[in-house]
Structures are given as structure tokens and as C-alpha cells.
Structure 1
Amino acid sequence: MSPLPEIVNTLFTGADCFLEENENGSCRVRISANATKTVAELRRPVEELMNGRTVKHASLTPSILQHLFSRDGINLLRSLQRETRTYISFDRRSLNVRIFGSSDDAAAVAEQKLIQSLLSYHESKQLEVRLRGRGLPPDMMKEVVKKFGPDLHGLKEKIPGAEFTLNTRHHIILIRGDKDMKQKVEEIVLEIAKAGRDLAERSDGEVTCPICLCEVEDGYLLEGCSHLFCRLCLVEQCESAIRNLDIFPVCCAHQDCKAPILLTDLKSILSTEKFEELFRASLGAFVASSGGAYRFCPSPDCPSVYRVAGPDTLGEPFVCGACYAETCTRCHLEYHPYLSCEKYREFKEDPDSSLKEWCKGKDQVKTCPVCGYTIEKIDGCNHIECKCGRHVCWVCLEFFSSSDDCYGHLRAVHMAII
């Protein structure tokens, strides 16, 4: 059971809070109070709590955040949640971590502990040598397996004392050892890559890059269409696509080809950070070219996209799978199941609008001259004690510091207390 609802409930005093669970396991918070102003005052801290605190630290690289997928990483998050009484959300798709706490101090402490724990854990874990990336041929892992065997026993003979594991999904050699062993493995991998780098002599005899029109340097052969390019030219083509959102999809630049460049090529050509930038840019290009049919989730830095409701349809809720925010697909504000889009927008602009509407034409409703609190008088005498502590004359709204002074005023000026 998530501790988040417990944290939310600590914010509500003098009001009722209802947590309505959706089908996907997220919760909708509904606040009920006697005055609209009370609801408006409570709304802001709840929204701040729901936004959470995004963990951003230069040392937390994607390879370090990957530890949160492991059993040890999951246990680390659970332990920190119990220790700091916070809720830590890890978005596995975007590698985004957010901390939800009942106070900024609790979230800050949890963030600091999480960063320190992850860095310490990473330092104690296996070292990595990537077999896919800049300067390496796309079949690098295949060559390593061919030379050293699937269990890398040949590599163990070259570097005694080290233990190796091959992650075939991510094309990574995991090393249990020290940094000197990692350096030796990197040197061996580079030697294999250099010995097998004869791409310029392969394909159909092409030696000119279709992008720079010069002799191919550090050649890369696209898997989809087998056209040869300078690796750096392909990287610059992708970076140009990131800057200019109107050139998606990224296609082969060879004359009359235009075949889309495959994901396997993009992952081999680009670093992890550049690949993620390209993905976000392509998603932005899709949304921009949709003519308003799609929009991004309004939560800051959230990559999710939803379909916009038509002008003649009711706004259905979009429940974001990444940040769990609920958005009205018609007006793009927070989902409002009990109000129309127009009324909710009016309420957002003026939280007291519904209260003002209710007060119109009611002689038994007045406003405290000191704090502005709305008072409804059903029966009783003309002495009113406001929640701010002042004693108010209902007839003329003059206020006093004590009930005796107010009653004295009623008798002297208005000749009666009723």
C-alpha cells in the first residue's frame, strides 16, 4: 500500500479529504469544506505535494539509475521510504525519480540519502564496458563472443582474477574487479574493433560519404539499406534533427534512398543521452505536426502525450502513466469531474467565484470587516463573534475586541441586541 495517501491526509485540518482510487491504481484527491476559500487555501499545498521533488544530480547518470531496476535498488527505495516517511516514485521509462513528502525538509533529506546511497552502491558494483557506441562496429558483441566465447572464458584467461558477465540485451561486459581491469578490457575491445574495421572496402565499392561528399572516415554501414556514411556525419544529421523538428523521420541521405534509419543504427551511432534527446525531439515533432490533435502532459518535463477531445465532446480524463497527473482532455487543466470546463476555469481564475455567486441577494450573509470571512446569520442576536476573534455588530458591521463592548454598542446605538 502506497504511503502517499497517508502523507496527503496530514495536510487537511478543518476539512474533509476523500481519496478516490482509479482503475490504474492512482488516486484522485477531493477536498470538501464549508467555505470555498478554505478549499482554495488547501489546494495549493496539495498541488505542491502532488508535484513532488524531482531528483536531479549531475552524478546520477543513466547507468547509475539503472541500479533501481535491480532487487537491491528496489529494496533501497523501500528502505529510504520507511526511514524518511516519504514516497519515492521511479519512472522506469524515462529514468525519472520524484520524491513526495509532507514537507520540503523530509523530501530534501530523502533526496540526499538517495543520491549518496546510489553512488555508494554503484561504486561497489560491477564495472561496465560497452560494446555499442561511437567508434565501435555494430557487430562488436558478435566479434567478442566469437573471440572469447559466450561465457567470456578467453577474456578471463587474459585478465586473471577478474569475473566477467555479458549482458546481451544492452551489449555490455560487466566486470567484477577494479578500474585497471576495466581499462585492460577496453584496450582489448578497441584492438578487436580496429582489426575488423574494413567497412570502407565492403558494400558496393562506395568510398564517398553521401552527406559530406568526401572520402568516408570511420565508416558506418546502415543495417536497413546498407549505405555507407562517415559516422560523424550521421551523428551530425541526428543532431540537426534534434534542433529542427521538421525533418522527422530521420532517413538515409543517399540519393533516391530515403529509407528510415533503424533504431539499432541510432543506438549504435549515438550516446545514450543523444539518443534520448532524439527520441524527445521526434515526439515533439509528432505533437507539433498533429494540428492540435495531440498535446504533452502538462506536468513539467513529462514526456507523455494524450489525444485532445473534440470541441463538441466532453473532456475525458487523461491519467498519465508517467507522473499520474489527471488532465481534462478538453480544457487541459486538472481533471474536474463535477464541474464544466467553463466553470472550472472561472474557479481557477477566482477561487471565491462560487462563494460570491451564492452570496448574491442574501440579506442574511455578510462579510467580516476585519478578516473578510463570509458569515451567514440564520437566527439569534445581532452580536456575531467571527473566527478571527473580533466581535461584530451585525447591523452596522462595527467591530469590537470584547462581547461586552459589542452588546453595549447594540443597546446604545441600535436600542436592542436583536
Structure 2
Amino acid sequence: MPVCKFFSSKNGCGRGAQCYFQHTQLANQEQLDSAIRPPNLVPSYRTTDSNPTGPAKTPMFAFPDPLTEISCRYFNIGKCKNGDRCRFRHNATSEEEKAHESIPQQARKDHSEPKSGQHSQDIPKAQPPKATESNARDLGGALVKFGPGGDVLSIEPAAASKARLQMCNVSCSWYQPSKIATLEFTSSQSMDEAAQKLGNTKILNRTLECRTAVNKQTKPWQCYVKVGNLDVSTTSKMLKEACGQRRPRSVTFGESSYSSSAEAIGQAIQRLLSSRGTVEFWTMSSSTKGAQSKATATFSTMEQAAKAITEFNGYKLPQLGGSKIFLSYMVKAKVSILSSMYSAISLELANVQQSFRSKNYLEIKSYPSTDKAHRFTTLHIISNTAQEVGKAKAAVDKILNGHTARGGRDIVWHELFLKTEGMAYLNNLGKLHDVFIYRNARKCILSLYGNETNRAIVESALLKTVDDLAVSTFNIDLDGKVPEAAHQAAYRKIVRKLGKTAARLNVTTSPKTITLHGSPEDADWARAILREGSGPTTDTKSTVEEYLTCAVCWCDITETFTTPCGHVYDRECFVNQCLSTGDDNIPIRCLGSSGNCQAVISFTELEAALTRDQLDKLLERSFTRHVRTHPGNYQYCPTADCDQVYEVSDDGKIFTCSTCLTSVCTKCGAVSHEGLTCDQYKSAILGDDAFADWKKKNDARDCPKCGCTIQKSEGCNHIKCKTCGAHLCWVCMRVFGMSSDTYGHMSAEHGSFYDPGYGD
């Protein structure tokens, strides 16, 4: 067995005979170092065949420690504290590595990735600055720097992009070349029947235009059908077959309306439009269906597009033989949604399109990403008027808001949904009932997408699950009159039986609490152990002092982590404190002296205690908390499951998300609403919203600072928003920075902290 590193320490090993390691007195520090440091060769053992159940074991294989092949990143900057005990390689980086590290990250990326020469009509992705310091991270499309305790020092988001206005697109159309045919018949009856037949027939995807004429000055009469809008490739055989049983005696074709090629016509129109502004993109439609050809011109500015439409709509182009070209706005809005969400709402989107089609031209097209790693489907809402696009987009956004899962008045939520097993449960439940369940981890809500009946079934199942989970969670308050040593001894017994994951101690609350996950019997047993430990005859001092205990969990230490303020932790407990701490406990502070120390842990100490992945998780949570508690400065992209951040502004600049390419109004936070002001858009999307009606009936209000919905059921008129931490006066909804300011205001302005009649 490996040697126990605590047996020879000052305080000794607290496990005694139960320790899994060898208790021998080491001769010198070199032996202690070798006992702590893992060897380069790690043997793996198997039981011998002759004695399959006995203790005799022989080495099966040995392999070198793979970490010794990796350079220690702290040694290279002179900050490694492990010395010879470090498992990573301690030697200077090679010249090749130094040369590579001296090249900036972005320069290496530019060198390794060839640039495409193709143009794109999509808005270019905003490129956020890259992190180059150890305390900086690229999060949410921004450069975020962190300070002591993992607290956010600064956020440098990608600048709000000056997105191309959707009304810069101009739709161009013109008639393809056509010819006229004259069909001669022997009688007026044959002529009339053939004309009726031809008028109800399409040849080469063209609807025919028919006129009849009779020359009564000849005997017999000459009866003709003149057929227009014929494709230039139409033949006599096609026309005769289209006449049915009344075949013409002869068919005569006229000349084509023009002979210019499609390429020449496109170049002529592009030159014409370019005389009124810069045409950045010109796209010819490849479709040959129908009698019209189409193209799209994208101008640099909306003013240039408007000038071209005003001057050239209906212009007779010489290359078309004097035929007209038709120009109109092609207004387009783009919305990105999760591909897995699209199938659940596709029927509702089709209904939106159908409702607008009866009034004006409007199309909603979907473009799933061809890249499997890209989880978004882009919707294009296209019309010839900005007003129609704005209204349709408001209707689409309303669908995308989904139905928030509620159990009566309360939102259905549990911390389990933040974990991997909770996410797996939501996915399975949604697939079972054909409902997409979107977990918004930032707002702690579940949004349901699908038909109303299935949503109700899922909502009921979620409510039952949350109720069941609440029954299995117990918070046990510790009696403040009982000596702490007694609580420590009792808690150690609870942990030994139930485990650290089932029983968690919180020393920062008042009173201190134990959160226990288990059965009611487990909770009753734990309470009994605490009561036994509080008896006057219990001698807990000697029991506790024989152990080297952790400042967090009061249990014995297996791997020591000491803070600069001198408090000792079990490293696993310190890591769990960093990973499971609530938003209110960032920055990370020392919980020594029964939670009274509160010294902020430096960023360097966090780096030393946590792995890179663990530190990144802590910093991501700190960043999320900072964004949520500063809604007036930063907001998340409104696209579901998109974590990009933009900076709020009063001028309503357009921010284009670098992940999902959604354009966002930085003033109101809505997906860019071309053709509507912020107030008009809000009115359009909330005009008949059921949740808005519910808020009016139940006196639920939005926080003036962050917009989160709050409902007050009873008690004092001082409200603290759980989302942004603002202190509010419920009477007049004024915002204050501290609770004392709020109480002072209520006393001076309203005369009481409570509503009139409260408590009668």
C-alpha cells in the first residue's frame, strides 16, 4: 500500500485503523516526497489464478504516467508551487514551441485558415476580441476579465453592428420573350370551342391569352384564334393538341418579342440601377417557370434603393423590345431558432403565413443549416412591404416565446433540470408526447412548444416531478445554542452513513443548515443524531480534536488546501464550494472560522486549486450572474439557447449575433423589427397576450430595472427582485440600491411598510 502522508504530519492521521494507506514512520523528507508523488510507472494488478480470492497479486502491466510528457504551464511562467512533486514536465519549452507561442492567437488562426473569395449576402459575423491573459475568457461573444474570487472585472462585447437594412433589397422582374400564333378554323363553332379549350390550358408553364376574330366578307367565313403569351419554343403540334377535337386548319407564328439573352438583359438592368447607387449584390433567379424572369439587387443604402424604384419602376428597356421592367421592395427579416424546435411549431408558422397571404404577398421560408454542428434553422420572412414583415415577425416571435410551464401560479422549476440527468429527463418526456421542451437555464423556466393538448400533459408531468423532488429534499437548521463541536461530531456521523453528496452543510446561512437529499426516514435519523449530539453529557471536544477537520464540511481531510488567510480545507470540499456556490456567494470567499472569515480567494489561488474545466465553469457562472444582475448594461441574444451577449444602448443600434446571425434591437431587446418602432412592436406582440392578461388580473408587475415579472401575495411592500437584486417599493415601483433606503422612502412617502388594512 502507498504510505499515508498524514501519519507523519504534526496532527497525524485521523482515520486510525480505518485508513486505507500504510502507517509507517518515514525516515526523512525525501521518503515523504516519494510517498506523495506518484511514480512514473504505475502498476496494475490482477489476482493470481491459484488463489482467486486471496490477497496475492502479481503485476499485469505497467505504463508511464502520460502527464510527464506535458509541459507544466505554471513552471514556464515561474509560478509552479509543486516543485519536484509536480506530475507535469519541468523544463523550458523548445525553440519551436516558443516561436509558436510568440505568434498571436488571431495571427495563427488567420495563417491556418484560408480566406474565401466568395461574397455572401448574409451579414458578416461580428468578431469579438480574443482572450490572451490567464484571467480572461471568451464568453458570450465578449472578452471577459475576472478578478479575485472569480468576480467579473470588465466585459468587452462585440460592437453593435451596422446591419444592412432589409429594405435595401429590390425585387426586379420582367417578361420573358414571347410570340403570337394565329390559328385558322373552318367554322365559328370550332373557333369558339378551341378558344375556350386553349384559355383553360397551360403550355410550357404559361397561361395563354386568346382572342377570336371572324372575317365575314369572305365565303366561307375566315375564323381565327389569336394566341398570345406563348413561349418562343412552342410548336404547332403543341397548339393543335391543346385544341382538343377541334383542330385548326393552319397555324402561323409571329416574330419573338425580343431576342436578347438573359445574361445581356441582366447586365442592362444592373447598369441601369447602378446609375442611382451602388449595387453590392445582383442575383438572377435560376427558375424558368412562368412568364416572368426575376432578379434581386441589393443597394448600399435604403435611400439608393428607394431612388431606383421611384425612377425605374415601369421603365421600357430597349433590350426587352420596349417591354417594361417592374421594381419593388423585397423586405426580408431573418429569425434563427433551434432546429429541434422548428418541427414542433412548423404548423403554427404555416398558419401565420396563410393568414397574411389573404391580404398581401408574404412568405416564410426555412433554411436548415447544412452543418450538423450548427443547431439553428433560419426563417426568412419576406414581403413587399415593411409593415407586413413587421407584423408577421411579431406573430412569429409570439410563437417562439412558447408556453411557460406553470403549476397554477408558480413557475415549474427544479435545480435538477440544470444537471445532465435532468436534461435527459426533459428530452425523453418531450419525445414521448411530441412536445419540444426548452430549458432556459438563465431565467430558470421551461418553455413548451407543440399542440395545446400535449403541452397540458407535459406540464402536468413536470409539476408532479417537481413535487416528488421537493418531498425528497430536507433543510435541517442547526441549533445555535448547541456547541459547534457537537454539531461537527453529529454531522460527521451523518456523512459517514449518507455520504457528502446526500448531506451538504451550509455555514454561510444563519442559522447554519444541512441540506439532505433522501427519504423522510433519513431526515428523521439525521435529526435524531443532531439531538443526541446536543446532550449535556456528550463529550465532543476530544472526539473532534483528534481529527484534522475541513473548514467547510467539518470532516477529516484527505488532501489539504490552505488559503492565504490560514484556513485549511479538504481540496474536494473547496472545489465543491466553488462549483456549487450560489450567485449570491460570488466572489468566492473563505468560509473558515465557521463562515466568519469571508476573505476573498485570489484568482491565483483559484487557478491552483481548480482544474481548467472547473475554473471555466465557475467563471461562466460568474459571467452569467453579472449579465443577469446588470440588465441595463448587457443582455443575451433572444434566440433560444444562444449564449451571445450584446451591450444595451439608447439609440437602438442593430446587433448581429455572431452565432445565430439574428439581428437584435439594442434598445428594446427584441429581434430587429423593421418597419415598426419599439413601442409599435411591443403593442403588436403583446396586444392579445394571455400572460399579459394574467398579470393584470393577478397584479403581477415587471421589475423596472430588469423586466422580470414579480407577484406579491402578502407582507411588506419592500420587494427585492431575485433576478437583478433591485430593491423596490411595491406602492410606487421606485427602485433603490439598499433595503434601508426603501424602508426610509416608504415611511416618509407612504406612512407604512404595509398596505392599508393589512393584518385586520
TM-score of the pair, normalised by structure 1: 0.43
Mark the structure with the bigger radius of gyration. Answer: 2
Bigger fraction of residues in strand:
2
RCO higher in 1 or 2 (8 Å CA, sep ≥ 6)? 2
Bigger fraction of residues in helix:
1
TM-score of the pair, normalised by structure 2: 0.26
